[in-house]
Each structure stands twice: as structure tokens, then as C-alpha cells.
Amino acid sequence: MPRRKKSRLRARLEPALLNAGLWLFTATLGRLPWSTAQRVGRAIGTLGWTLSRRDRRRTLDHLALAFPKMPEADRRRLGRDCYRHHGTTLGECLHLFHRDCAFVKSVAEVRGWEEIEKAREAGRALLLFTGHCGNWELLGAAVNCRGLGMAVVARPLDEPIQQRMLTGLRERFGTPSIARGSEGAARQLLATLRRGGALGMLIDQDTKIDGVWVPFFGRPAFTPVGAAKIALRQKTAVIPAFIERLETGRHAVTLHPALDLPDDPTEATALMTAKIEEQVRRRPEQWVWMHRRWRRQPDSTMLR
């Protein structure tokens, strides 16, 4: 078979096989205990660490950038734990397709809810920001199962079937998705804030949207500036929100006090990013080290 035809066939088959596998795992893991779904996911993560040579190398490179003084053996252990964490997160999310808010409350404790109440008592709109820390999809479910009414702003996945699965999971727990940059997105953002809801935004990845250069682990990182601009324009309460998996297998969501943002969007983004870095340093194995966070640099160089 010619190479071009083979590559086209592979391009069609791989997403189809992945989607079929996700549906199969969803049907299976939803019927197993939570702890079993976590163990299956952890095994998937371990396998991913073994098989994904390119992303494994990238993960180790990024850990070396962030923790240059850490012994190489410790960085390898941390990288492997990172893959196991994200595999566990996959198992948990597929399990949640068959669960409700009562179950979410049993596995995720929300700390700092008084910060939400303070903002509402002051009549302020809410913007919660976070990074790809812990099980961030469970974070959204946990706060909305408490009645927050948060919509998340995110770039749609490239694969339509996976995007439908993801939006379906969010909507199961009352979390609508606003497609970043789509027609009508601005109107949806404003409507959410005006009806007393909240916006949830992840701002820790280098993506093709309006951004600014701010420090992250001591290195310039191109960072979305939209959250800061919305917060300053709408005078929202800006609350750092993070979730982490505990040794017990349960999760803790922490809502921190609202930030006093500087008026400059770049400075505001830097402050928000610093809060994300604090959480990543707390639980480094629960962040996405395989993401090319520093792939672009201000001098136009490209990192791996």
C-alpha cells in the first residue's frame, strides 16, 4: 500500500478506535467501584508512560526546566507519577458518566465556600480560574453540585465525538461549556455573569489566542489574557480554585480568597499565573508536564 494511502487510513482509523475504546471503558468503569476505576486508570497511565516515548521525553525535559536541581532519578519518578495521575483522572471521569451529584459530594470535599458567599453578598460576579491541576473536570462538577452555576470557557476538542462526550459529562453536573472564540461566546459570557452565575477558566496553556508573556517557573510563558481582561472589565471577584487528589482516593477542592488584581491585564495575568505555580509546586505530579508550556519564547525560539 502506498505510504500516503496508508497514512490517510491510519488517520481515519486511530480516532475511530480511540472513540470506540472510550465508549467501552465508559460502559465498563461506570459499573465498577470508584476505587477500581481509579486503579484501572492508573494502570492505563503506567502503560502510557511506557509507550509514549516522545511525550515521556518532553515531560522529562519540562521537569528539568522547572526543577533543575532535582536529581534525574527523582524527575523520572515524578514524570511516571504524573502519567499515573492522568490515567487515574481518565478512569474517574469515565466512571462519572454513570454518577450524580450525591456521588460527587461523597468523593470531593469543597473547602473555602465562604469565599463564594462573600462575593455574592457583595453583589459581585464571579470568575474562578484554575490550571490543569488534579482532576479539573471534577472540580467543575463539585462546585456546581453546590449550586454555583458556573459555565466553563474552553477550546473545543478537535475530535467531535470526544467533544460531545466531554460536554455531556459537564452538563450531567450542571456545567455548560462556552466555546472559546466561537460566534456568540461573548454574549454567553455576559449572560452568565449577569444572571448571577460564574465563569470558570483554565489559563495555564500556550494556545493560539490573545495572550501575554508572564513568568512561570522562572521562564517566560505565553499565557491567555482573556480571563484578566474579563475580570477587570466586569469587576468580577477573581477566585483561585484548585483540586487535588488525596492519598485516600478522595479529592479536595480549595477556593482561595479573591485576588486584588492590578489594573494592568499583563500584571493581573502574572498574579493569577503565580497562584497556579504555587499549586503545581504543591502537587507537581498532578499537573500536565507533557504540555509544551514554554514552546514559544519572546525571542522567537522554540523549545521542545
pLDDT attached to residue 5:
47
pLDDT attached to residue 1:
46
CA distance 196 to 175: 14
Is 67 in a helix, a strand, or coil? coil
For the segment 27-67, what is each residue's pLDDT rounded down to a tens digit? 778 889 999 999 999 999 999 999 999 999 999 999 999 99
Is 196 in a helix, a strand, or coil? coil
pLDDT attached to residue 6:
45
CA distance 130 to 135: 11
CA distance 168 to 119: 29
Compare 1 and 143 and report the one with higher pLDDT.
143
For the segment 153-186, what is each residue's pLDDT rounded down to a tens digit? 988 888 888 888 899 999 999 999 998 877 778 8
Boundaries of every domain in the chain: 3-96, 102-286
CA distance 84 to 49: 8
How long is the chain? 304
Share of the chain above pLDDT 70, in %: 91
**Range 225-234 average pLDDT:** 95
pLDDT attached to residue 179:
87
pLDDT attached to residue 160:
85
The most distant pair of C-alpha atoms in the chain lies apart, rounded to whole Å, by 67
Average pLDDT of the chain to the nearest whole number: 91
For the segment 238-289, what is each residue's pLDDT rounded down to a tens digit? 999 999 999 999 999 999 999 999 999 999 999 999 999 999 999 999 999 9
Model confidence at 9: pLDDT above 60: no
For the segment 111-129, what is each residue's pLDDT rounded down to a tens digit? 999 999 999 999 999 999 9
User: Band of the pLDDT at 103, cuts 50, 70, 90?
Assistant: very high
Share of the chain above pLDDT 90, in %: 75
pLDDT attached to residue 15:
65
110, 255 Cβ separation under 8 angstroms: yes
pLDDT attached to residue 302:
66
CA distance 95 to 69: 38
Model confidence at 196: pLDDT above 50: yes
Sign of CA dihedral 101, 227, 160, 287: negative
**Range 202-218 average pLDDT:** 93
